[in-house]
Structure 1
Amino acid sequence: MLTQAKPEDEAALERLIETAFVAYVRALGRDWPGPYPWLPEAIAQGRVLWIDGAKGCAVIDRDGDALKLDQIAIDPAYQGRGTGRRAMEALEGLGRRAGFAQITLYTAQVHTDLVAFYSSLGYRVTDLRPPASGKDDIPRIHMTKPLN
């Protein structure tokens, strides 16, 4: 279900992320997702994973004892079909196998559907704060799930 992205995947990943995030960023008051100047480095560091072929992608990182999910993007053609749920299960399994105690993520407060989705998977709210990026002032809900 999860495979490592390669440098030659950069353009395809950008298209996928943009397609998946249009509605998300419009709710934040922006017209279009991106740009993604961080993507080549994240790919080179092995932090970008394809989900189920090219149905989505995830960007992960380490944050102490946590596997941090920086971003998950599911192609809109596969949203609502269980792809996101299966991807989250696969990411949690990856975290367990790597010895992480928990997995963390965040989403914009205005996306109550995403908060409900992650809550249904066992994630709990740990914090509410403005985004570190400064691109908007919409608070982000930070969530955590134990992996043991």
Structure 2
Amino acid sequence: MGIRLAEAVDRESVEAIVKAAYDPWTPVIGVEPLPLTADYAELIEAGLVYVLENERTIDALIVLRPEDDVLLVENVAVNPDRQGRGLGRRLLTFAEFRARSLGLPAVRLYTNEKMISNIGLYESLGYRETDRAGIDDRSVVHMRKRL
């Protein structure tokens, strides 16, 4: 199992995993989660998407966007039939590695305030809430982890 930069040929797999992972949240939050609205062809072209694959099958992905003083985890998605195996945690550990390699002292992310299980997971991994705000008619919790 390895993590690599996504390529154009991975777009359909990436989009399918994002859809499968986030669709169940739509009725919970009342609107489509932001990852469902992203342009993955553009993100892949920009070199922001990493995939975790097992024997050439993509099981999960992470979108990482460097900012001035932090690495933004824009999206983490795990194929639902592969959830519960630590793949999301592995990708978040990879994000920390990338941040350090870029000389960035922290990683940040945001999640919808109604995604309570995600907030708990991020807190268990050392992320702390920094703010609550609105993004495109969604209420989100901003979180940060100092490295």
**Normalised TM-score (structure 2):** 0.88
1:12 aligns with 2:13: yes
Structure-2 change in CA distance of 1:145 and 1:35 (3 Å): closer
Residues 65-85 of structure 1, C-alpha deviations (whole Å, 9 max, x = no match): 101011111111121221111
Q: Which has the higher strand share?
A: 2
What are the residue-to-residue correspondences of 1:127-138 with 2, within 5 Å?
127-131=131-135, 134=136, 136=137, 138=138
Q: Which has the higher helix share?
A: 2
Mapped to 2, the partners of 1:101 and 1:35 lie a distance apart of 29
1:145 aligns with 2:132: no
CA RMSD of aligned residues (A): 1.7
Mapped to 1, the partners of 2:32 and 2:121 lie a distance apart of 25
Task: Tell me the residue number matched to 1:50.
Answer: 51
Mapped to 1, the partners of 2:85 and 2:27 lie a distance apart of 23
Mapped to 1, the partners of 2:37 and 2:93 lie a distance apart of 28
- How many residue pairs end up in the alignment? 142
1:58 deviates by 0.8
Task: Tell me the residue number matched to 2:93.
Answer: 89
Task: Tell me the residue number matched to 1:3.
Answer: 4
Structure-2 change in CA distance of 1:139 and 1:30 (3 Å): closer
What are the residue-to-residue correspondences of 1:60-99 with 2, within 5 Å?
60-99=64-103
Task: Tell me the residue number matched to 1:100.
Answer: 104
In the alignment, residue 146 of structure 2 is paired with which amino acid? P
In the alignment, residue 92 of structure 1 is paired with which amino acid? E
Task: Tell me the residue number matched to 1:39.
Answer: 40
In the alignment, residue 142 of structure 1 is paired with which amino acid? H
1:31 deviates by 6.6
In the alignment, residue 34 of structure 1 is paired with which amino acid? L
Mapped to 1, the partners of 2:130 and 2:146 lie a distance apart of 12
In the alignment, residue 140 of structure 2 is paired with which amino acid? R
**Unaligned ranges ≥5, structure 1:** none
Mapped to 2, the partners of 1:55 and 1:10 lie a distance apart of 13
Task: Tell me the residue number matched to 2:114.
Answer: 110
